[in-house]
Each structure stands twice: as structure tokens, then as C-alpha cells.
Structure 1
Amino acid sequence: MTHRILFVCLGNICRSPAAEGVFRALMPEARCDSAGTSGWHDGDPPYGPMQAAARARGIDLSDLRARRFVAQDFKRFDLIVVMDEDNRAAVEALRPAGNPAPVRLFTSFAPAAGASHVPDPYYTRDFDGVLDLIELAAQGLKAELV
């Protein structure tokens, strides 16, 4: 079975594209995408410092482009993974009636990390710390899927 997973953050330039890149490297057979709950950066590549931090770990994000989360994503994906509770609320507000697609916090796949959400490095500037957490959560997600 091919898993279809969508990673969602606010602007789709830091956390969710990093999660997409890390997960597609970890589980290339999965169909992954990422989106943002805002349309501020539609069409933009991931934020330069996030790309650099990911590239230092062997993850290339340069082919990704930001897009906004839309209600049709509930039909396109088996699992929607959000970075924080604000993202979850914005995604759930667009859920079509009766659609059962699960929406889960990414940190739920890395309970040992003790994090309630994936912090936004656009504001914290901690790109490496965020990537550490994303890698842990990605490993947990893969373990749950296989």
C-alpha cells in the first residue's frame, strides 16, 4: 500500500517542507507533499536557512514550492500531519463533512522528545533543533506505517 501523507505548517517554507524532505528520504515509497495554512508564500521555495540546514544533513528541499492547504487535500491524502495546534485548527476548519482522514500532530510520533509541537524556526532561528525533532518524528511515523 502506498501511503499518501501531507505535512502542514503555517507558511509552508520551513517546517512542513523540511518534514516532507526528511520523510521522502526516509520512506521514498510514500507519496508526500506539504502545504501551509496561509497563502503568504505560495510558489516560493523553502526558506533559505532551512534549506541550508537540511542540505547539511543531505536533504535537498530545492525542488519544493509553497502552496496553501485546501479542502480537497482531505480526499488526496490518507494522513494529514500538522506541526502545531493552530495548524490543526485551520486544517479542521476546512474538513468536508463526513471525511475521515486523520489529522495528527507530528510530535505525536515522537513522544520521547517531550515536545507538544514543532516550533517555527522562522521565528526561533533554531533550524537544527527543529530538524532534530522532525527526524525523530519522521522515524516514529515510519515505524507506525510499516
Structure 2
Amino acid sequence: MSHHVCLVCMGNICRSPMAEIVVRRVLEEHGLGEVVTVDSAGTGGWHAGQPMDQRAAAVLARHGYDGSVHRARRFEVDWFGRADLVLAMDNENLRALRRLAPAGTDIRLFRSFDPAAPKDAEVPDPYYGGAEGFLDVLHMVEAAAKGLAEHLARVVR
């Protein structure tokens, strides 16, 4: 069984690509890398084709992750047909995705998979802040990625 997860933020240069890279590693560590595919996108297309924000790439690199190949892209409506689970980084993107989605599409907040976070917790956008915001995002993403992997282990096996 193959399962597809798409992580979505605003421009696909900070939060969702960081989450994509972290989730991929955590899935590999849980033995799920061959059965779950992960990608990311933004609800807006103004960064399409651009690399990850340098601050996001730098914090990933300092923690052993490689974000160098990422290129931003915009979420397309027809992707709902191939994604089993669409995860928004915040409520604004969650609402935008739900407006576009066919009925019955599984769309949730990404941090809802972090057992230590409130179910409505968001991954805040670090774009307009300093480097510390990107580190905070990384910690939130790592925590949610572990919970997501545990959830997917139950779903795909």
C-alpha cells in the first residue's frame, strides 16, 4: 500500500519544505520510507521555482538535514486526488485548502500530530522574524513528524 502526504504552507519556502525534509527522514527511521511519499507546496505561487529560504536551509543544515534540492511550487487543486493526507501549517492555509478541496478530503493541521501540542496548534510563519524563529519551527516540525510517523505506521500496515 502506498500513501501520499502533502505538507502545505503559504509560499513553500520555509515551513512546509522544512517539514517535508524532516518527515521523510522520520519515516525512513520508522521503516515507512518505501510506503509513504511526502511532498510539499504553498497555497501561493509567488515563490514557485525558488530554493528554500536561506535561513530555513541553514537551520536544517546545522541539524543534519539537506534542503538544497528543494524548489518551491504552488499546490494545485488536482493534487487532492493523489494525496491521502494534506497537512496545513496554520489555520489560514487550512481554510484555503478546505475551500478548494472535494468533500471527504483528509486535511488537517500538521501539529495536530504532536501529542504535546494542542490539537489546534499552528506552525508559525518565521519568514518575517529572525533566525530563532526557524529553529523554533524545526523543533515543532520534528515533534509533529514523530507523531505523524506513528499515525502512518498504523494506517499503512
- Name the structure 2 match of 1:124: 129
Is 1:140–2:144 an aligned residue pair? no
CA RMSD of aligned residues (A): 1.3
Q: TM-score, normalised by structure 2?
A: 0.87
The count of residues paired between Structure 1 and Structure 2 equals 144
3-state SS in 1 of match to 2:77: coil
Moved over 3 A (4+): none
**Unpaired stretches in structure 2, ≥5 consecutive residues:** 28-32
Counterpart CA distance in 2 for 1:90 and 1:68 is 13
**Which of 96, 101, 105 is the aligned partner of 1:101?**
105
- 1:46-100: CA deviation from partner (whole Å, max 9, x where unpaired): 100100101111111111111111111101110000001100111112113x4x2
Counterpart CA distance in 2 for 1:18 and 1:2 is 22
3-state SS in 1 of match to 2:74: coil
Is 1:84–2:90 an aligned residue pair? yes
Is 1:18–2:9 an aligned residue pair? no
Counterpart CA distance in 1 for 2:100 and 2:117 is 30
Question: Once the two structures are aligned, what percentage of the paired residues are identical?
Answer: 47
Counterpart CA distance in 2 for 1:73 and 1:62 is 24
Deviation at 1:133, TM superposition (A): 0.3
Counterpart CA distance in 1 for 2:41 and 2:61 is 20
- Name the structure 1 match of 2:64: 58
Counterpart CA distance in 2 for 1:120 and 1:111 is 21
Counterpart CA distance in 2 for 1:72 and 1:94 is 10
**Which of 71, 74, 80 is the aligned partner of 2:80?**
74
Counterpart CA distance in 2 for 1:123 and 1:2 is 37
- 1:13-55: CA deviation from partner (whole Å, max 9, x where unpaired): 0000000000111113321110001011000011001001011
**Unpaired stretches in structure 1, ≥5 consecutive residues:** none
Q: TM-score, normalised by structure 1?
A: 0.93
